[in-house]
Structures are given as C-alpha cells and as structure tokens.
Amino acid sequence: MQTSFINALAGGLLIGTSASLLLFLNGRIAGISGIFNGILIPVKNDVDWRWCFIISLIVGAFVHSSLTDAVYYQADTFSPWLMIPAGFLVGFGTRLGGGCTSGHGVCGLGRLSIRSLVATLTFIASAMITLFITRHLLGFN
C-alpha cells in the first residue's frame, strides 16, 4: 500500500473518531470555524475545550510532519495579496453557510443533515469554480 493512502486513511479515521467523541462526550459539533469563533467571542465556561481542540490540531500536524516524510502542496507560491482576501472570502462563506467544511462535511453529513449536504455541495461547486477561474482564466498555478 502506498504511504499517502495510509496517511489519508489514518487521517480520516482520526478525524471521524475525534468528531464522534466530541459529539458523544461533549455534545458539540467539530466545526472548526465555530470552535475558533467561540475563542474569539468567548462564553463563560465554554473556552477551555475549544483551546484544547485547536492546540491539538496544531500539535497533531507537527507530530505528523515529524514522523513521516510526506510532502504536501505548499501554498507559499501564492501572493499574500491574493491569500488575504481569499481568507476573508472563506470566512464570509462560512458565516453565510452557517458553518465550515468540517462542521457540514464531516459532522453534518455523518448525521444525515440535508442542510449540510446542500452546504457541502455548495462548497465543492464554489471550489471548482474558483480553481477554474484562478488556474485557467487568471493563469495562477
């Protein structure tokens, strides 16, 4: 088996397990934008678990990159002048869609939510259109 397949399988299992445990043990959806928003606009007694989740994401990525020789696409070839407005558009989209890809795509689809299915299909269509525009019409690689 290829290493990338094993990494993807392990990552998917870890994401599914952590999202399921967060829902089962804490009654919360593992939507990263909502978790991060709860840190920016804190509610009393509802911040600690959010910090633990975000820190675990960062530590997990560091541990993975330290233990494997996997090479992923580097986004540093894009201009910051394109990345900054793109980040704001993603934030706007998550607000408009009532959640992000992790909340809708992982957790919502797992709960068989029609709203999450529509949101996930919208995310995918938007990504395909954006890729087409940036690569084929604007010439960015």
pLDDT number for residue 135:
85
pLDDT, tens digit, for every residue of 7-31?
788 888 988 898 889 889 988 888 8
pLDDT, tens digit, for every residue of 102-125?
888 888 888 899 999 999 999 899
CA–CA distances in Å: residue 97 to residues 8, 48, 85, 130, 139? 26, 26, 18, 17, 29
Say whether 13 sits in a helix, a strand or coil. Answer: helix
pLDDT number for residue 121:
94
Contacts by residues 72-81 (CB-CB < 8 Å, ≥ 24 positions apart):
77/141, 78/140
**Reported confidence tier of residue 128, pLDDT bands at 50, 70, 90:** very high
Mean pLDDT throughout 73-91?
A: 77
Provide the token pair at 131.
């890729």
Residues above pLDDT 70, as percent of the chain? 92
Kindly tell me the burial class for residue 30, based on how many C-beta atoms sit within 10 Å of its own C-beta (0-12, 13-18, 19 or more). Answer: buried
**Reported confidence tier of residue 99, pLDDT bands at 50, 70, 90:** confident
pLDDT number for residue 74:
63
pLDDT number for residue 85:
87
